[in-house]
Chain A
Amino acid sequence: MTHLTAVPSADGARPIVSLTDVIKTYTLGKVEVPALRGVTLKVYPGEFISIAGPSGSGKTTALNLIGCVDTASSGVVMVDGQDTKQLTERQLTHLRLHTIGFIFQSFNLVSVLSVFQNVEFPLLLQRKLSADERRQRVMTLLEQVGLDKHAKHRPNELSGGQRQRVAVARALVTRPKLVLADEPTANLDSVTGQNIIDLMKELNRKEGTTFIFSTHDAKVMNHANAVVRLADGKILGRITPAEAQMAMAASAEGH
């Protein structure tokens, strides 16, 4: 399988995401639970990266830090050239709105809004486009995800796969530089999950949007340019999907 997208390069191009010695510790009552223990990672524009690892390895924590919904206990998290530690809550929100798109495991659509309105939502928050422009943008995306016929439907009238496609459209509608997806296929059957990953991949290729998604599904991992393996809050390495599969098979045998 060949990858036509830009290959990660250490030379010249600025990384869109850069984690340096990031430690994240949660406090549960009096116990300190380390989630990330010194993670360093760079992601370059146009990458399609999977973060893999068993549950509890720190995948979600890493994505939350990259997604600016959480801050690191120590270390530096740079997103689109900005040190998230230096930003106020408002500025973080602004950064999320304009730079990052989110795809959630449970889709997280607003149930009282139609498909169209759900996708339009971030554009309304941005207040940059006119109503016509918004409509055009939303409908183009809905066409791309194959849901232009369902624009007026409510989320509860759609299947799981359709809902996640709406979520994908919502994540991409602002044309973000970075899309984060935490276990986007976990709540879907394998065929549907496959379709969602294909859709993401296609958008990555066409728009050059950077995707970072977490998964523990080897088939899903396969589509990534690179797999970042996490275990016990540490990065084991940045490997190819094939290597990752071998490693997973090995660890499965080891058990």
Chain B
Amino acid sequence: MGQLTLLLQVAFRNLFASWVNVIIGAIVLFGTLLVVVGGAVVESLDESLSRSIIGSVAGHIQVYSEKSKDSLALFGKMGGEANLSAIEKFSDIKKVLLQHPNVKTVVPMGSNSTLMTSGNTVDLTLARLRDLYKQAAPGETPDLRAQIDSVKAHVRQMIAFLDEDLKKRNALASENTLDPTDLQALARAQSPEFWDGFEKDPLASLEFLENRIAPLVADGDLIGMRYVGTDLVSFQKTFDRMRIVDGTPVPEGQRGMLLSKFFYEEFFKLKTARRLDLIKEARDVNHKKIAEDPEIQRRLKENQTQTRELLLQLDPLKTQQATARLRKVLGSNETGLEKLLVSFFTMDDTNFDTRYQQFYEELVPLLDLYRIRLGDELSITSFTRTGYAKSANVKVYGTYEFTGMEKSQVAGALNLMDLITFRELYGYMTVDQKDELEKLQAASGVAEVKREDAEASLFSEDSSLVAESSEGIIDEDVQLDGASQARRQEELARRKYTQQDTEDGMVLHAAVILKNPDTLEQTIAELQESTKKAGLPLKVVSWHQASDIIGQIILVAKLVLYAAVFIIFVVAVVIINNSVMMATLQRVREIGTMRAIGAQRGFVLGMVLVETTVLGLVFGAVGALLGTLAVKKLGTMGIPALHESMHFFFSGPRLFPSLHASNIVTALVIVVGVSAFSTFYPAFLATRVSPLQAMQTDE
């Protein structure tokens, strides 16, 4: 006891006796600081990411068919969608999964993606014109006539712009790249004769414009859209971070879609407006300056060069209005709208806020702010697994977002859809199609099942009809003619489906929410077992695995931290080793004296080890304390996400790291271990110091 007290005393007093110790101390301090802060940040990152992933779509566990060729990647993967096998009947696996005491909810899902165009302005305007003619068909009113004339004038203006653009483009190109038939079509569309004769057969004229002119305008975007088909009611109940932003939820039992707010803004909003929004956000939230930020400057420049987007949307009347408003706002005598727009969009830090407000107050009322409005139908075409193109019109009821991840591209890429539509797009026969098939069969006299029986056999547990509905059965024969197609669409949009319709059909995967997430791994193993026993072999994976690349990022962050810590401590080992060697050499006489007086080698070994351990503990404690303070500070301030893509990882715009006792304990154990380890060799050398060294004199 007395000896240890002595050793500790010697150790403490030697702490600042040598500058070498101070250097070791500094390294140890820094190392501990890094372990504590880094550990806390990475752990919090892990927690927040898990909150993001679990709370947005994954749940704690995801299950999918064991026959799947790929592994599930909820947020998409390189090279398209994961190839998953279908689970034929969701209710079967739901029943098995719910038998586990730890399973709270199971949400059916299917994810897929598609490419779509946002539609070009000419198409949209022509569609509006067609609509007006349709309305006017039973009897024309003066009001309708005025509208028709206005839209017609708009179309003519568009064609003029188009002609101008094409000629400019042609002048720039070395060769004449235009197809002569296009030029002919364009000439015809501009000729007064065409417009004079328009009213004789408006629909034929429209068809000409739609087929020959609209394709020449290339302002539609190709949009890659990911969607998750799910039980929307259950989804919203389960993932409580989900929030409807605009519009309404899809009414229970109906077909419909909810677009991600981020996706909607990013791809369907008027680009000029979107750019202005982003600039405003950069200025207000991130405190950027137009004068200093090249990205903002680029966006402003784009607004000036891409005024065509606005010009095309405005019919002659609105063009006049816009011109008048801009002249007033700018105090200009300019008459050309394009020039006015360019000077309006010439913005700097002093006038941005006013111009932003003016844009929304003066110009936006004249424009379509979104290409797809809430309540519109979105036409989605998707390829079934066997290669057929399937399309469906889905009504967009609203936009939604996940709280905290409003700006995240990852979370924002997911659009939600009802399961019935999803199945249809995936190439599965839906209840409606079965009905139709039966109607057709009945009509053609090949009915095998009566309507009433069909209903029963469709919804009974051991339905042979449902079992038959495997991919590939898609009947291209059952294509209906245009009119009945439209009627069918309208019918479908209003049609109500039962919960059974939703649950008895195919899904690709399902989210499992647990009552106690702490026993995740155990539950996974047990579910794997129980589904196998039930004859429904599933792959059961944690949210980590289910999110593929995204889930791995935390692993990468951990690896980077551990590598940094490892390097620091390797350096520490080398430096401590060298320093203690030097210190030992400096103390040869002292050690020799102790040995001469009667200290055994073990005592000397103990002395050196205790000294470095104390050194490690003292400086480690200071480092841990500083680290704790740093984490506390970060915990209140938060680490701002430097880029919007980090919102998903931070589960919000800022990460608030918190400290666990384990962080500090780990740091101290590592530090003390490292310092003791790096002292072994010099300590061994110290034991070799001969008592004879005591006899040497200083002089």
Residues of A within 8 A of B (CB): 60, 64, 67, 69-70, 89-90, 93-94, 96-98, 102, 104-106, 108, 110-113, 117, 120-122, 124-127, 131, 134, 170, 174, 182, 187
**Cβ of B78 to closest chain A Cβ, rounded Å:** 63
- Report how many A-B pairs have Cβ atoms within 8 Å: 85
CA A112 to CA B14, docked complex, whole Å: 7
* Complex contact B690–A69 (CB within 8 A): yes
**Cβ of B124 to closest chain A Cβ, rounded Å:** 87
CA A126 to CA B3, docked complex, whole Å: 10
Q: Across the A-B interface, give the 10 residue pairs with the lowest CB-CB distance, nearest first.
A: A97-B598, A112-B13, A69-B691, A108-B593, A96-B598, A124-B2, A106-B697, A125-B598, A124-B6, A124-B3
Known: A60-B695, A69-B694. 4 other contacts (CB 8 A): A93-B598, A97-B599, A122-B598, A125-B600
Closest to B598 in A: A97
**Cβ of A133 to closest chain B Cβ, rounded Å:** 11
A contacts with B: majority SS: helix
Residue-by-residue, is B650-692 near A (CB-CB < 8 Å gives 1, otherwise 0)?
A: 0000000000000000000000000000000000000000111
Contact of B599 among A64, A93, A108, A131 (CB under 8 A): A93
* Complex contact B697–A105 (CB within 8 A): yes
CA A134 to CA B2, docked complex, whole Å: 10
B590 adjacent to chain A (CB < 8 Å): yes
* Complex contact A121–B6 (CB within 8 A): yes
B603 adjacent to chain A (CB < 8 Å): yes
Q: 12 A-B Cβ contacts within 8 A?
A: A64-B695, A69-B595, A96-B598, A102-B597, A104-B694, A105-B695, A105-B697, A111-B590, A113-B13, A125-B3, A125-B599, A127-B3
Contact of A117 among B6, B17, B603 (CB under 8 A): B6
Closest to B1 in A: A131
Closest to A112 in B: B13
Residue-by-residue, is B564-599 near A (CB-CB < 8 Å gives 1, otherwise 0)?
A: 000000000000000000000000011001111111
CA A64 to CA B592, docked complex, whole Å: 13
Contact of B589 among A108, A125, A182 (CB under 8 A): A108
Closest to A101 in B: B597
| Cβ contacts under 8 Å, B594 to chain A | 110, 121
| Cβ contacts under 8 Å, A112 to chain B | 10, 13-14, 17
Contact of B695 among A93, A96, A110, A182 (CB under 8 A): A182
| Cβ contacts under 8 Å, A60 to chain B | 695
**Cβ of B610 to closest chain A Cβ, rounded Å:** 13
B9 adjacent to chain A (CB < 8 Å): yes
Given contacts A104-B695, A117-B9, are A69 and B596 in contact (CB under 8 A)?
yes
CA A121 to CA B498, docked complex, whole Å: 90
| Cβ contacts under 8 Å, A170 to chain B | 597
CA A78 to CA B14, docked complex, whole Å: 38
* Complex contact A94–B692 (CB within 8 A): no
Contact of A90 among B590, B600, B697 (CB under 8 A): B600
Given contacts A67-B596, A106-B698, are A125 and B13 in contact (CB under 8 A)?
no
Residue-by-residue, is B455-496 near A (CB-CB < 8 Å gives 1, otherwise 0)?
A: 000000000000000000000000000000000000000000
CA A113 to CA B2, docked complex, whole Å: 14
CA A134 to CA B448, docked complex, whole Å: 110
CA A102 to CA B596, docked complex, whole Å: 8
Contact of A97 among B590, B597, B695 (CB under 8 A): B597
**Cβ of B696 to closest chain A Cβ, rounded Å:** 8
Residues of B within 8 A of A (CB): 2-3, 6, 9-10, 13-14, 17, 589-590, 593-601, 603, 690-692, 694-695, 697-698
* Complex contact B600–A98 (CB within 8 A): no
| Cβ contacts under 8 Å, B9 to chain A | 113, 117
| Cβ contacts under 8 Å, B593 to chain A | 102, 104, 108, 110
B contacts with A: majority SS: helix
Contact of B598 among A70, A98, A187 (CB under 8 A): A98
**Cβ of A163 to closest chain B Cβ, rounded Å:** 13
| Cβ contacts under 8 Å, A134 to chain B | 2
Given contacts A106-B698, A113-B13, A127-B3, are A64 and B595 in contact (CB under 8 A)?
no
| Cβ contacts under 8 Å, B598 to chain A | 93-94, 96-98, 122, 125-126, 174
CA A112 to CA B8, docked complex, whole Å: 12
CA A89 to CA B589, docked complex, whole Å: 19
* Complex contact B3–A122 (CB within 8 A): no
| Cβ contacts under 8 Å, B13 to chain A | 112-113
CA A148 to CA B436, docked complex, whole Å: 112
Closest to A134 in B: B2
**Cβ of A58 to closest chain B Cβ, rounded Å:** 13
**Cβ of B20 to closest chain A Cβ, rounded Å:** 14
* Complex contact B597–A125 (CB within 8 A): yes
Closest to B690 in A: A69
* Complex contact A125–B694 (CB within 8 A): no
* Complex contact B600–A93 (CB within 8 A): yes
* Complex contact B10–A93 (CB within 8 A): no
| Cβ contacts under 8 Å, A70 to chain B | 692
CA A183 to CA B303, docked complex, whole Å: 95
**Cβ of B590 to closest chain A Cβ, rounded Å:** 6
Given contacts A90-B600, A97-B598, A125-B3, are A102 and B10 in contact (CB under 8 A)?
no
CA A242 to CA B565, docked complex, whole Å: 73
Closest to A68 in B: B691
| Cβ contacts under 8 Å, B695 to chain A | 60, 64, 69, 104-105, 182
CA A70 to CA B691, docked complex, whole Å: 8
| Cβ contacts under 8 Å, A97 to chain B | 597-599
CA A102 to CA B590, docked complex, whole Å: 13
CA A67 to CA B592, docked complex, whole Å: 13
Closest to A129 in B: B2
CA A124 to CA B1, docked complex, whole Å: 9
**Cβ of B7 to closest chain A Cβ, rounded Å:** 9
| Cβ contacts under 8 Å, B14 to chain A | 112
Closest to B12 in A: A112
Contact of B692 among A64, A90, A93 (CB under 8 A): A64
| Cβ contacts under 8 Å, A117 to chain B | 6, 9
Contact of A110 among B10, B601, B691, B698 (CB under 8 A): B10
CA A98 to CA B600, docked complex, whole Å: 12
Closest to B4 in A: A124
* Complex contact B2–A131 (CB within 8 A): yes
In the complex, which of the residues A94, A102, A122 has the most CB atoms of chain B within 10 Å of its own CB atom?
Answer: A102
Closest to A100 in B: B598
CA A182 to CA B3, docked complex, whole Å: 28
Contact of B603 among A69, A96, A113, A125 (CB under 8 A): A125
Given contacts A105-B697, A125-B603, are A96 and B691 in contact (CB under 8 A)?
yes
| Cβ contacts under 8 Å, A105 to chain B | 695, 697
CA A110 to CA B10, docked complex, whole Å: 9
* Complex contact A96–B697 (CB within 8 A): no
**Cβ of A172 to closest chain B Cβ, rounded Å:** 12
Closest to A180 in B: B596
**Cβ of B606 to closest chain A Cβ, rounded Å:** 12
Closest to A186 in B: B697
| Cβ contacts under 8 Å, B603 to chain A | 125
CA A69 to CA B596, docked complex, whole Å: 7
| Cβ contacts under 8 Å, B599 to chain A | 93, 97, 125
Given contacts A60-B695, A110-B10, are A96 and B590 in contact (CB under 8 A)?
no
CA A98 to CA B692, docked complex, whole Å: 18
| Cβ contacts under 8 Å, A111 to chain B | 17, 590
